[in-house]
Amino acid sequence: MLVLVVVAVILFFYREQNAFSTTFYRLTTHKFHSTQGQIRIVQLSDLHSKTFGRKNKRLINKIKRLNPDLIFATGDLISSTDTNGGAFLDLIDGLKGQYPIFYIEGNHETTARYDQMNNESGWYDDFLRQLKEKGICRLDNAYQQVEVNGEELFIYGLTLPLTHYKAVPQAIKDRANHREITDLSEVFSPLRLESINILLAHSPFLATLYEKHGFDYTYSGHVHGGILRLPFVGGVLSPERKFFPTYSCGIYSMNRMTLIVSRGLGKLRLFNRPHLVVVDLVADPNKPRHPKG
């Protein structure tokens, strides 16, 4: 009997770390030109160099079945202690050329940039070079204007300074010599408010700044769903070492902005399986279309 209990516990923990949980959201916008407009977005976050099957084949196949128009990779796809970024590069190899992929750096990527190991080996610089060669659009405080299914989107990527993260060695912060952002006008020009403006920002904890700047949608991760999730409570602990974080998972409406927070894919977790987010952005039939041209 004891053996069966032990086996059951082992299988449960294995499932918690390896069985995908997929959340689907259907969001409406009055900014589409067509009443039939629809765009499917798959969000990946916080992989932390984890692999799902050989060369991440299970994750690749799962994404292909979801058939996205766009893929957003919202940071910490590697771990700062990595040596080559191979797990994420394998994932990209299985998806490149099939879907437009937009990528931002999280605190682990930014930490790797300033880490002594990278200074000595240059592995992170080589990782970024390979991403570029594979056709990945890395948004480093930049934006890309794209047209998808006849609809125009402006996709922005924010690289947050390390001063906004607590779990970063002070020596790394000192080497980076970053200062905090107090307003996104320090980073981005005014938005074209008649268009759909999407922000990719690894941490959700500056959501008030994102909303203030006028973004329609922000995609974040970082919180790992609170690591442990409890019924009626939600996430328990954030990487910022705070209990019961405000934004741990799901959709949050903030005046004119919608914040989407992924629980992420990697790291140890409990009652909080590896998370894929799917957003179907569709035309709002109850509001007037935004005229084209």
CATH number at residue 90: 3.60.21
Residue with tokens 């799902």: 52
Q: What is the pLDDT of residue 6?
A: 79
* Mean pLDDT confidence for 148-162: 95
Q: Does pLDDT of 30 surpass 80?
A: yes
Chain-centroid distance of CA 23 in Å reads 14
Q: Does pLDDT of 285 surpass 90?
A: no
Domain span holding position 68? 20-283
Mean pLDDT check: name the lowest of 71-75, 153-157, 195-199, 270-274: 270-274
**CA 281, CA 260: separation in Å to the nearest integer?**
12
Cβ neighbors of 2 (< 8 A, separation 6 or more) are none
Q: What is the pLDDT of residue 291?
A: 55
Q: What is the pLDDT of residue 290?
A: 55
pLDDT band at 75 (very low <50, low <70, confident <90, very high): very high
- The residue ranking higher by pLDDT, 124 or 175, is 124
Let me know if residue 153 belongs to a domain. yes
CB environment 183-213: b (16+ within 10 A), e (fewer):
ebeebbeebeeeebbbbbbbbbbbbebbbeb
Share of the chain above pLDDT 90, in %: 72
* Mean pLDDT confidence for 29-42: 88
- The DSSP symbol for 198 reads E
Strand order across the beta sheet in which 21-29 lies: 21-29, 275-283, 38-44, 70-74, 101-104, 137-138
Q: What is the pLDDT of residue 289?
A: 60
pTM score: 0.94
**Torsion of Cα atoms, 288 then 193 then 259 then 219, to 10°:** 120
Q: Does pLDDT of 26 surpass 90?
A: yes
**CA 133, CA 16: separation in Å to the nearest integer?**
34
Dmax (CA) for the chain in angstroms is: 71
Q: Does pLDDT of 292 surpass 60?
A: no
Q: pLDDT averaged over the chain?
A: 92
Let me know if residue 238 belongs to a domain. yes
Let me know if residue 114 belongs to a domain. yes
Q: What is the pLDDT of residue 236?
A: 92
Q: What is the pLDDT of residue 276?
A: 98
Let me know if residue 14 belongs to a domain. no
If one counts the domains in the chain, the total is 1
pLDDT band at 233 (very low <50, low <70, confident <90, very high): confident
234 token code pair:
């939600």
Let me know if residue 234 belongs to a domain. yes
In 3D space, the residue among 57, 172, 162 whose CA is nearest the CA of residue 107 turns out to be 162
Let me know if residue 3 belongs to a domain. no
Q: What is the pLDDT of residue 288?
A: 58
Cβ neighbors of 256 (< 8 A, separation 6 or more) are 211, 214, 216
Mean pLDDT check: name the lowest of 37-41, 118-122, 137-141, 191-195: 118-122
Q: Is-contact 264 225, C-beta < 8 A?
A: yes
* Mean pLDDT confidence for 259-277: 94
**What region, left, alpha or beta, does residue 227 occupy, with left being phi > 0 and alpha being psi -120 to 50 degrees?**
left
pLDDT band at 135 (very low <50, low <70, confident <90, very high): very high
Let me know if residue 12 belongs to a domain. no
* Mean pLDDT confidence for 125-144: 97
Let me know if residue 113 belongs to a domain. yes
Cβ neighbors of 274 (< 8 A, separation 6 or more) are 17, 18, 19, 20, 21, 50, 52, 263, 264, 265, 266
